[in-house]
Amino acid sequence: MMKKAAIVGPRMAELVERPIPKPQGREVLIKVHVAPMCTEYKAFLEGKPHDCLGHEAVGEVVETAQEGGLFKVGDRVVAMPLSGCGECELCLAGDYIHCLSNPMMDSAMAQYIVKPEVCLRKIPDDLSYEQAALACCGLGASFGAIRKLGVSAYDTLLVTGLGPVGLGAVINAKFCGAVVIGVESNPYRIETARRLGIDAVIDPRDAEALAKIAELTGGKGPDYAVDCSGVPAAHRLCIDAVKRKGKVAFVGESHNETPIVISRDMIRKGIHLIGSWHYNLNDFPLLMNVIRRSRMTESFVSHVFPMSRIQEALETSVSQQCAKIMLKPWE
């Protein structure tokens, strides 16, 4: 048996015991050393009982379902969110996250998880489990967007929403040498962004927010924008603020409608709107270099909790007085 985190009621979480899963086919069993937290606080607030929490993990391969696979017992790996078939065109190209057979369910906040080989990558010997844990949503989500946008040291990037994903965008963009303007109202996260090197922060409640962004960019607007909030008002701000012929990437999940006028917003302004979910796994070595060489990643992790304190960890996530939170399943 193993322990895993579970929601047991509205704003109530605890550890439960479940059978250790068995790998099949091209799957491996992983002993989880670090499980980063992401959007699980939403399920925590909703309170619907279930035990499928977490979609990020790093750990050690302890069992394989078949010999001759890509991984062996003892390998240290990053387990990416969700999974894929491993055989389709998207999986083979490194875009497994878009695989049509990708199940929308994961359970990484546990002592053991089973994962298909297609969504695993080996951790370089010089990086710790804690460092490698940033390769999923912490840095990975915005890394994929910034790669799609083509951000460089010649550019200015607007980031709306400075939660954990948006703060990761600051790290990635500053690593590229870009000027970064953030949009955020949470004082804790504004201060964290400043420690990470952000150049300016605009309050989204400011009626002059758009004008101030224009002023900071000499009147033309930022070259690129990435939304990490999932808020329709932030979507509109990115579209309105970015320069003509600029690009906007949407990272923050949203199920609400954002008004877009094709002629005004896209044809005549000439901008590109890009949906970005995770990153192409062929770029994993590049992200490892960001983690290895950036001076900012240590300031990114604000809390580390033993999984035995899952209730406190989720309450901290709800408070928004945090950046990236890590769980240790064996503590």
Question: In whole angstroms, what is the distance from residue 268 CA to residue 258 CA?
Answer: 19
Confidence of residue 237 (pLDDT cuts 50, 70, 90): very high
This prediction's pTM:
0.95
CATH of the domain at 72: 3.90.180.10
Summarize pLDDT for 82-130 with one digit per residue, the tens. 999 999 999 999 999 999 987 767 899 999 999 999 999 999 999 999 9
Percent of the chain scored above 70 by pLDDT? 99
Look at residue 67 and tell me whether its pLDDT is greater than 90. Answer: no
State whether 120 and 145 are in the same domain: no
Longest dimension (CA), the chain: 62
Residue 294 domain-assigned? Answer: no
What spatial distance separates the first Cα and last Cα of the chain, rounded to whole Å? 16
State whether 127 and 9 are in the same domain: yes
Mean pLDDT, residues 168-174 taken together: 98
State whether 253 and 214 are in the same domain: yes
Look at residue 47 and tell me whether its pLDDT is greater than 90. Answer: yes
State whether 107 and 155 are in the same domain: no
Quote the pLDDT of residue 199: 98
Q: Contact at 8 Å (CB) between 2 and 21? A: no
Amino acid symbol at 136: C
State whether 55 and 77 are in the same domain: yes
Mean pLDDT, residues 212-240 taken together: 97
State whether 126 and 205 are in the same domain: no
Q: 226 CB contacts (<8 Å, ≥6 apart)? A: 142, 145, 146, 149, 157, 158, 159, 160, 169, 238, 248, 249, 250, 251, 276
Pairing of strands 156-160, 179-183: parallel
Q: Where is pLDDT greater, at 57 or 68?
A: 57
Average predicted confidence (pLDDT) for the chain: 96
Domain count within the chain: 2
Q: Contact at 8 Å (CB) between 293 and 175? A: yes
Quote the pLDDT of residue 88: 94
Quote the pLDDT of residue 298: 85
Quote the pLDDT of residue 104: 64
State whether 115 and 22 are in the same domain: yes
Look at residue 329 and tell me whether its pLDDT is greater than 90. Answer: yes
Look at residue 132 and tell me whether its pLDDT is greater than 80. Answer: yes
Quote the pLDDT of residue 68: 82
Look at residue 223 and tell me whether its pLDDT is greater than 90. Answer: yes
Q: Quick one: tokens of 86?
A: 């491993």
Quote the pLDDT of residue 36: 97
Question: In whole angstroms, what is the distance from residue 288 CA to residue 121 CA?
Answer: 11
State whether 89 and 17 are in the same domain: yes
Q: Quick one: tokens of 72?
A: 């062996």
- Residue-wise DSSP of 131-164: HHGGGTTTTHHHHHHHHHHT--TT-EEEEE--SH
Question: In whole angstroms, what is the distance from residue 160 CA to residue 142 CA?
Answer: 12
Domain of 40, in residue numbers: 2-138+300-328
Quote the pLDDT of residue 69: 87
Helix, strand or coil, per DSSP, at residue 294: coil
Q: How many CB atoms lie within 10 A of CB 206?
A: 12
Question: In whole angstroms, what is the distance from residue 185 CA to residue 205 CA?
Answer: 8
Summarize pLDDT for 257-304 with one digit per residue, the tens. 999 999 999 999 999 999 999 999 999 999 999 999 998 888 899 999
State whether 118 and 146 are in the same domain: no
State whether 157 and 123 are in the same domain: no
Residue 145 domain-assigned? Answer: yes
| Of 205, 203, 209, 239, residue with least CA distance to 224 | 239
Quote the pLDDT of residue 254: 87
Burial 85-122 (b: 16+ CB within 10 A, else e): bbebebbeeebbbebeebeeebbbbbbbbbbbbbbbbe
Quote the pLDDT of residue 218: 97
Q: 83 CB contacts (<8 Å, ≥6 apart)? A: 96, 99, 102, 103, 106, 115, 116, 118, 119
